[in-house]
Amino acid sequence: MGQDIAASPFTERDFSRFSARLREETRLLETWFRDGALDAGEPTIGFELEAWLVKPDMDPAPRVEDLLRRLADPLVVAELATFNIEFNGNFTHPRGQALSRLASELTETLNRAKQAARHLDIRLAMIGILPTVRTEHLTLAFMTPRERYRALNEQVLALRHGRPLMPRIEGRDRLELVWHDVMLEAGATSFQLHLKVQPDQAVRVYNASKIVSGPMVAIGANSPYFFGHDLWDETRIPLFEQAVSVNSSALQERVGFGFRYARHSLMETFQANLDRYPILLPRLMDEPPERLAHLRLHNGTIWRWNRPLVGFEPDGRPHLRIEHRVLPSGPSVPDLIANAAFYFGLVRNLMRDEPPPESRLMFLHAQNGFYNCARRGLAAIIPWLDGQSHPVTRIIGDDLLPRAQEGLTDLGVDPTEIDHWLGIVERRLTTGRTGACWQRDWVRRNGPDMAALTAAYLSHQESGRPVHEWTWD
């Protein structure tokens, strides 16, 4: 979805020609899978971080264009709303002190952005859902002026035949809305992890990513409030799923956990893209089929919580990546990198585990566990690999943290790095203080003042300390 669109609306001929190119590129990718043309080099890791821009009064600040001009950094880009921004990291090999390198890069980028933001009298907030966002903010008036966003809005509504979106989220409170555009999506910001995978390991990594999605969202939850309502620990999950719902067959919904594990090849997901999902953005591009431009654009409009991607090496060789999308933005840089360490170590361990974990945990159980963890956070009880249901806290502490340590060791990460980053996850677990828990505890102690909550949250975030060390002043 980072690709821009030349113009909208589209014609029937645009859809027909795009469909032909998409079919051609899908068949080409199929031959690459079959012939072993995809890069089989070492894994690399990277990230995308979305954040909010906020005013001194803690309301969203629609100043992204001004901030981007000041930064002039190709790795910092606009998002759907003019009060959101995205930071992209460089890819690195996951060995030695790779995690600290990611932390240093992200900290340096954020410091430059914060310095530029100060000149505009605004601040950056890394949080899944900004507590102060209100209905008047999530409107087309605050859509970033890019044709791809306008086209996305038009096409989602066209697939709904003009019917409004009707999100309903039932958590501790109940929220029902009637919405006439896709701007609710701008209410949710995330921390997306990227892992380049070798083709012969891709199915196992993809399935492992699905299996750990529930525990990952439980330990990383940071989005309890939306429009003043106390909802899920990670309200971002149902919000995003319903923000771009096409109100069609469940098989065609654009955001979701999926319907099964991969069986033989990740080509199955790209074939499903062609077979099941109507084209949203039929932009025709003057690119050779080998660049897969149309396939990649179409894939970018299908937001699986674990999404296979095709990218290219500097020498032009195609590669496969898994994009793990379940984590929210924030609460701090140490928390973000600790979450990354946990995920990368876990999938490395589980992809080599025998018998394969996907043969021991039914897909439906992994799916139900994911939504239970998004709803209840560390209080969730979910099915696990032994065929029994356990508190997710016990699964993380007794099974997953040791697995992550083994996986990071296998990747060649320095032992001191492993102890440091996984130690943050462990202390968050033992204190029971995720970002969502901290926000709710603050409200219990200080009352439901969302502006004051956001100000306290930002003060702690800017201290650089992980959330398990935060107080409630």
Specify the pLDDT at position 250.
60
pLDDT surpassing 80 at residue 31:
yes
Average pLDDT, integer, range 258-268: 96
- Alpha carbon distances (Å) from 12 to 7, 235, 283, 320: 14, 37, 12, 32
Specify the pLDDT at position 1.
40
Q: Tell me the pLDDT band of 473, cut-offs 50, 70 and 90.
A: confident
Specify the pLDDT at position 333.
98
Q: What is the pLDDT of residues 322-331, one digit of tens each?
A: 999 999 999 9
pLDDT surpassing 90 at residue 6:
no
Question: Any idea where the domains of the chain sit in the sequence?
Answer: 12-467
Gap between the Cα atoms of 395 and 398, Å rounded: 6
Average pLDDT, integer, range 222-246: 96
The structure's pTM equals 0.96
- Helical spans, DSSP H, in 63-121: 64-71, 98-119
Average pLDDT, integer, range 169-189: 97
Q: Tell me the pLDDT band of 9, cut-offs 50, 70 and 90.
A: confident
Q: What is the pLDDT of residues 391-403, one digit of tens each?
A: 999 999 999 999 9
Specify the pLDDT at position 252.
74
Residue 258 CA to chain centroid, in angstroms? 15
Q: Which helix (H) or strand (E) holds 231?
A: none
- Alpha carbon distances (Å) from 107 to 5, 115, 235, 373: 32, 12, 26, 29
Contact 165, 179 (CB under 8 A): yes
Q: Token digits for 88?
A: 């992209």
Gap between the Cα atoms of 92 and 194, Å rounded: 11
Contact 32, 38 (CB under 8 A): yes
Average pLDDT, integer, range 165-172: 96
CATH fold of 12-467 reads Creatine Kinase; Chain A, domain 2 (3.30.590)
Specify the pLDDT at position 182.
95
Beta-bridge partners for 234 = 223
Lowest mean pLDDT among 20-34, 53-67, 132-146, 149-163: 149-163
Average pLDDT, integer, range 346-350: 98
Q: What is the pLDDT of residues 88-121, one digit of tens each?
A: 999 999 999 999 999 999 999 999 999 999 999 9
- Residue 218: which residues within 8 A CB-CB, separation 6 or more? 233, 373, 374, 376, 377, 378, 380, 392, 396, 434
Query: What average pLDDT is seen over the chain?
Result: 95
Q: What is the pLDDT of residues 288-301, one digit of tens each?
A: 999 999 999 999 99
Residue type, 322: I
Specify the pLDDT at position 7.
47
Q: What is the pLDDT of residues 303-338, one digit of tens each?
A: 999 999 999 999 999 999 999 999 999 999 999 999
Residue with the bigger pLDDT between 202 and 3: it is: 202
Q: What percent of the chain has pLDDT over 90?
A: 94
Specify the pLDDT at position 198.
95
pLDDT surpassing 90 at residue 271:
yes
